[in-house]
Structure formats: structure tokens, C-alpha cells
Amino acid sequence: MKNKNVIKRALLVQKILKEHYEPGRQDRCKLWVWRNVINKIYPISEATFFRYLKVLEDAGQEPAGRQSDLFDDINEDKDSFS
């Protein structure tokens, strides 16, 4: 998602989830948080809720930059032997 407002809303949803979600309790699962807390503040579908959680994982990762070449090490070794 490229829209800054969607990413901002997803961050807010993630913050609300962290406040109310309790991993050990089945009655405070992510679905409960969506039904009873998040859906009242942001009326979004269940699919959108889980997509927002995934967007946060993707947004936290920055591009790695230049991808290493498979033969970088071999080419460097050849240069050192010349």
C-alpha cells in the first residue's frame, strides 16, 4: 500500500491491537479485538483488518539496496590471484 493515510491508519490499528490483545487468552484474541474495539472505531472488514496487520510487517522492512551477485566472491578471488 502506497497511500500514506492507509499506512497511518494501519499503524493506529496496530497500536489498538497491542493495547487489547492478550496472546494467552482465547477470549482476547485478535478477532475479538477487531469485533469489539477496532470495528467500532474504524468500521473495516475482517479481511482489511488482517491486511493492515500485514501492511505493517511490510512497511517496517526497507529495501536492502543492491542485491549481491552469486559470483561476487569468485570474481574477487580471481582478481587477488592475478
- pLDDT surpassing 90 at residue 14: yes
Question: What are the residue ranges spanned by the domains of the chain?
Answer: 4-59
- Report the predicted TM-score, pTM, of the whole model to 2 decimal places: 0.64
| Alpha helices, H only, 1-82 | 4-20, 30-33, 39-41, 46-60, 72-81
What is the per-residue pLDDT for 63? 46
pLDDT in the model for residue 3: 86
Task: Quote the pLDDT of residue 51.
Answer: 92
